Structure 1
Amino acid sequence: MSHTRVRLSPDTRREQLLDLGVQLLGTRSLDELSIDVLAEEAGISRGLLYHYFRNKQEFHRAVVRRAADDLIAVTVPDETLDPISRLTAALAAYVDYVEHHFEPYTSLVRGAASGDQLLREIYEDARTALTGRIFESLGEYGLDDTPAVRLLTNGWAAMVEEAVIAWVPDQQLSKDELLSLLAAALPAVLAPTAQPPNGSS
């Protein structure tokens, strides 16, 4: 009995290659992820791979974009929870993602810091998506969306990023301790913005 081989559409095949690229980033850095490596792992020729990605830079950016999109998707907040529980749950999903996809995530962060404009844009898109959810919930914290609140929230997000990246390799705190500290830090950071400046009414 013969088996008919299913021919995948170019878009479907490209999506599979991106999934494989993100998976491979779990064991190597972005710089180590070459067209040759992906072609070998995918069981296709190097030339065919260039049908989907024009060059190594385009391939890297597409893989990092996929990793960023995955992060945004898994951290969608549960709107049925109260603000702090919702924040803690989203943080837990974020920490889990970074813990299990440490290389792809650090590649995103390092790529953004390297001066590559497109990688920087992907990084900023991911950061904006994550902090944007907080801005949408400010009313539940009794806060208005002001420049001061946005400045401090973005500072908190940068602190969370650095703390989680530092935590993953050594984990001197438990995950629950880490989540508790990070969730409690946001209201503490934003508290001054709820008060009139200089005690004025």
Structure 2
Amino acid sequence: MNNSQQRGSERAQTRRAELIAVGRRLFANTSYDALSMDDIARHAGVAKGLIYYYFRSKRGYYLAIIEDAVAELVQRAGATHDLPPVERVHHTVDGYLRYAEHHQAAYRAIATGGVGFDADVLAIRERVREQLLAAMAKAAWGRPDRLPPVARTALIGWLSSVEGVTLDWLTSREPAREVVCELLVRGLGDTLRTIEEYEPTCPAPIQADQPTARGRALP
């Protein structure tokens, strides 16, 4: 690829990213059916044909936005760096809730399967679940490798409850996010201790005498 082609490719990637950013703002709190391609093009300040050029269809555009949202959700959930285990867990859950709070429509699509249980969105959901499981394994045990069956089953159960709690919280907006985070972290503590009983190779990092990031001990 020569310099001219490279610059053209970079411009195309930049324009595509800009259109996705516009779509994420538009779909943040607006349903899929409520926005037409004409609406999207008007908000983006471009010809409708440009959106078709990059994404082929409204559905293709929507799926690209969901893929981008998934990447951010996983990045936020897994950005624990070198924090101690308890703080890693708290940071992971808090990042998840913050994402859901500020990107409600995208989160609902991810958590519920999208428009009419769209098969492609469901596939994206399964991928994000696997990535979140890896993020949780890294947060809890410092390793994102293949989980033992008991650990995987228990974490899937906890993650399903997180999705249900988060969807309900987005509707009611009570209690405060910090309280929801604490409840979910405590529930994860119970799950991790149960996992340890069945799978000693996965010791629970949260113990009764260890304070959480908020300074309180988990039961």
TM range (shorter): 0.7 to 0.9
- 1:156 is the counterpart of 2:155: no
Write out aligned runs for 1:1-201 (5 A): 9-112=11-114, 114-139=116-141, 145-195=147-197
Give the CA deviation at 1:32. 2.2
1:82-131 C-alpha deviation (Å, 9 max, x unpaired): 22211111111111111111112112233358342211121112121111
Aligned to 1:3: none
CA–CA distance in 2 between the matches of 1:56 and 1:68? 18
SS of residue in 1 equivalent to 2:81: coil
Mind listing any 5+ residue stretches in structure 2 that lack a counterpart?
Answer: 1-7, 200-219
- Per-residue deviation, residues 165-196 of structure 1 (Å, max 9, x unmatched): 11123233222221111011112123233235
Report the CA distance between 1:150 and its aligned residue: 0.4
Aligned-CA RMSD value: 2.4
Which residue is 2:207 aligned to?
none
Q: Is the 8 A contact 1:29 1:104 kept in 2?
A: no
Q: Deviations over 1:124-167 (max 9, x none)?
A: 121211111222355469xx942011001011011111111111
* Alignment deviations for residues 32-91 of structure 1 (CA, whole Å, 9 cap, x no partner): 233222111111122222111111221111111111112122222323222221111111
- Structure 1 unaligned blocks of 5 or more: 1-6
- SS of the counterpart of 1:32? coil
Amino acid at match of 2:25: Q
Structure 1 pair 190/113, CA: closer, same or farther in 2 (3 Å)? farther
TM-score by length of 2: 0.77
Cα distance change, pair 187–113 in 1 and its aligned pair in 2 (3 A) = farther
Percent identity (aligned): 26
Determine the C-alpha separation between the residues in 1 that align with 2:75 and 2:111.
18
| 8 Å Cα contact 1:53/1:59 also seen in 2 | yes
**TM-score under structure 1 normalisation?**
0.83
Judge which range, 105-114 or 170-179, deviates more. 105-114
Distance 2:49 2:178 in 1: 48
Measure how far apart 1:19 and its partner are: 0.7
Aligned partners of 1:177, 1:183: CA distance in 2, in Å? 10
> How far apart, CA to CA, are the structure 1 residues paired with 2:136 and 2:42?
42
Alignment: residue pair count: 189
Supply the AA of the counterpart residue of 1:179. C
**C-alpha distance in structure 2 between counterparts of 1:102 and 1:115, whole Å:** 17
Structure 2 distance, partners of 1:118, 1:128, is: 16
Tell me the amino acid that sits aligned with residue 168 of structure 2.
A
SS of structure 1 residue aligned to 2:113: helix
